[in-house]
Amino acid sequence: MNAPTSSAVLAPTVKLLIGGQFVESKTTEWRDVVNPATQEVLARVPFATADEINAAVASAKEAFKTWKKTPIGARARIFLKYQQLIRENMAELAAILTAEQGKTLPDAEGDVFRGLEVVEHAASIGNLQLGELANNVAGGVDTYTLMQPLGVCAGITPFNFPAMIPLWMFPMAIATGNTFVLKPSEQDPMVTMRLVELALEAGVPTGVLNVIHGGEMAVNAICDHQDIKAISFVGSTKVGTHVYNRASLNGKRVQCMMGAKNHAIVMPDANKEQTLNALAGAAFGAAGQRCMALSVVVLVGEAQKWIPELVAKAKTLKISAGTEKGTDVGPVVSCAAKERVQGLIERGVADGAKLELDGRNPQVAGYEKGNFVGPTVFSGVKPGMSIYEQEVFGPVLCLSAAADIDEAIEFINNNPNGNGTAIFTQSGAAARKFQEEIDVGQVGINVPIPVPVPLFSFSGSRASKLGDLGPYGKQVVLFYTQTKTVTARWFDDSTISHGVNTTISLK
Ligand code: NAD
């Protein structure tokens, strides 16, 4: 995380949301929000003080008293309205996102849209938050469950999906009857704040949604605050592991979606043109800054001969600002990110991988100051090399080879991460073997970025995830609620008394 800075020319400030009011922070620590294509300072984001964080949590705690009793239909209707407002403001949201994060305008719309799908899901909370009932489990006894909200919940989000990931969190938490404190990424909080404004316009009541900004101190304060019951975190493995350990020790429910190294297997029988297009899109789209980006491709047998065509495809991609028509690869988020990615490319060469395409320091007319790294391809990549061991989070594709599918599956399962994976093949038998044997949460069959729609839950395994339940889908309803099991018997005058029962059995 970069240290807070302050810009010479004072840009507009990003506000906190506490008790239904957008307020100016009283902090002395600020950081610039910078357009990664131009270095223009778009805004200044505060690092909230301890008092402000406490005030946000107190506001959420107070609001919970009434929000938890709000009828489920009233909660659902807010999200019906909210999805409409997001649709109506899609172009503006995408423009804000592109300006502060760098991804192309169509991809920014995709970012908002994948979050919008979760808002639609939240609007059907009536069907999702149903308990169960077993009638007559003993004479005149019924057992049923209530799924009750927990209280104040919190969300901590990363820079790479500043619309989708906040929308993974607060809509489902609030729809299930909780109140929320959100801490967006300090690198690109502006689109998140616009989404928060729209949520209030849709009818989210005072105090039900609060926003604080900051970095390590704010995150630690959330992990430690006694009034916060559950935390949803998305970000790097290092920070996620810290959040999980610290918040769990404080007795909180925690889910952490973390870093990745997503592998694809290409079988020689795959549809070549479709596969090469899918690989290039998934490796270099969003400048490789997706947790589900394909960063390693294992070429099986004859597919190893496809490298020149894959490199040729990568060379056709247009590198420019996300606002320019036809751009395929925008800038990475910050100067520090660019330096890091270029440093890893250097280490890849030093470690002995073959640099098939070097994307370092591309010339981008009109955007000479932008944080651009072009598509980069390495072949001969092996475990132990830094470009393989680390999550590059840039447009860098590593190619490895395997003799057959068993070797390729073993290679992937030996990597500690388990976020996403894909196989490209025309063989149903190979695809089925892959889905059964691969130890990764999200599996694609001829689908390069298999992010599930919200009817299902985002998953992840091994080093990519901590906590049992995923964000959105059915699992998140369990995450944000406490199941209460009620066993009830009602006597009427005709009930026959069996006398005193000193056993554990229900009669
Ligand atoms: P990050 O871990 O640096 O930041 C995530 C959040 O943690 C931010 O809100 C940030 O302010 C906070 N933070 C940063 N440093 C901290 C520290 N030292 N102590 C406490 N809090 C701290 O992640 P990022 O760079 O914003 O996002 C990219 C990472 O997120 C990648 O590793 C990517 O794979 C991962 N990611 C995972 C998923 C998933 O679903 N598995 C989705 C998106 C992103």
The answer, yes or no, to whether residue 7 has pLDDT greater than 90, is: no
What are 268's two structure tokens?
A: 């020689």
Q: How many helices (H) and strands (E) does the chain have?
A: 16, 22
pLDDT value at position 217?
A: 98
Answer whether 254's CB lies under 8 Å from 223's CB: no
Q: Residue 231: CB within 6 Å of ligand 1?
A: no
In this structure, the number of other CB atoms found within 10 A of the CB of residue 374 comes to 21
Residue among 114, 185, 294 to mutate when testing ligand 1 (max atoms within 8 A of CB): 185
Ligand 1 centroid–CA 39 distance in Å is 22
CA 134 to chain centre: 37
Instruction: Give the pair of three-digit tokens for residue 81.
Output: 């309205």
Task: Determine the pLDDT at residue 1.
Answer: 42
Pocket of ligand 1 contains residue 415 by CB under 6 Å: no
Q: Are 10 and 44 in contact (CB under 8 A)?
A: yes
Tens-digit pLDDT profile for residues 410-448: 999 999 999 999 999 999 999 999 999 999 999 999 999
Mean pLDDT of 269-286: 98
148 pLDDT higher than 70: yes
pTM of the complete model: 0.96
Ramachandran angles phi, psi of 396, nearest 5°: -125, 120
DSSP 288: G
Residues facing residue 483 across a β-bridge:
147
Name the active-site residue from 223, 291, 335, 398: 291
CA 392, CA 375: separation in Å to the nearest integer? 13
Give residue 246's pLDDT: 98
- CA 236–ligand 1 middle distance (angstroms): 4
Q: Is the CB of 234 under 6 A from ligand 1?
A: yes
Cβ neighbours around 98 below 10 Å, total = 26
- Residue 258 Cβ < 6 Å to ligand 1: yes
pLDDT in tens, 453-471: 999 999 999 999 999 999 9
| Ligand 1, atom nearest to 471 Cα | 40
Whether the Cβ atoms of residue 314 and residue 380 lie closer than 8 Å to each other: no
> What single letter denotes the amino acid at residue 7?
S
The percent of residues in the chain predicted with pLDDT above 70, rounded, is: 98
- The answer to whether residue 5 scores a pLDDT higher than 70 is no
pLDDT at 11: 95
Read off the pLDDT of residues 373-382 as tens digits, 9 standing for 90 and up: 999 999 999 9
Ligand 1 site, residue 185, Cβ cutoff 6 A? yes
* CA atoms of 346 and 358, how far apart (whole Å): 10
> For residue 149, is pLDDT > 50?
yes
Q: Do 264 and 189 form a contact (C-beta atoms < 8 A)?
A: no
Provide the pLDDT for residue 498.
Answer: 75
Ligand 1 and 154: CB distance under 6 A = no
Concerning whether 291 is annotated as a catalytic residue, the answer is yes
At residue 496, the pLDDT reads: 74
Per-residue pLDDT, 492: 84
Is residue 495's pLDDT more than 80?
no
pLDDT in tens, 54-104: 999 999 999 999 999 999 999 999 999 999 999 999 999 999 999 999 999
Per-residue pLDDT tens for 356-365? 999 999 999 9
What b-and-e string marks burial along 418-446, b requiring 16 or more CB atoms within 10 Å of the CB?
bbbbbbbbeeeebbebbeeebebbbbbeb
pLDDT for 3 equals: 46
Q: Spell out the SS3 assignment of 414-435.
A: HCCEECEEEEECCCHHHHHHHH
- Under a CB-based contact definition with an 8 Å cutoff, are residues 177 and 67 in contact? yes
CA distances from 353 to 67, 73, 358, 380, 387 (A): 57, 58, 12, 5, 9
Give me the amino acid identity at 379. S
Query: Considering only CA atoms, which residue is closest to atom 36 of ligand 1?
Result: 235
Write the DSSP symbol of residue 287: G
With tokens 């059964």, the residue in question is 436
DSSP classification of residue 376: E
pLDDT of residue 501: 87
When mean pLDDT is compared across 154-163, 340-349, 422-431, 487-496, the lowest value belongs to: 487-496
For residue 414, count other CB atoms closer than 10 A to its CB.
9
Q: Which residue, by CA, sits nearest to atom 17 of ligand 1?
A: 216
Contact in structure between 102 and 331 (CB atoms under 8 Å): yes
DSSP 319: B
**Average pLDDT over the chain, rounded to an integer:** 96
pLDDT of 9 strictly over 80: no
Q: Which of these, 236, 205, 240, lies nearest to 223 by C-alpha position? A: 240
Cβ–Cβ < 8 Å for 347, 262: no
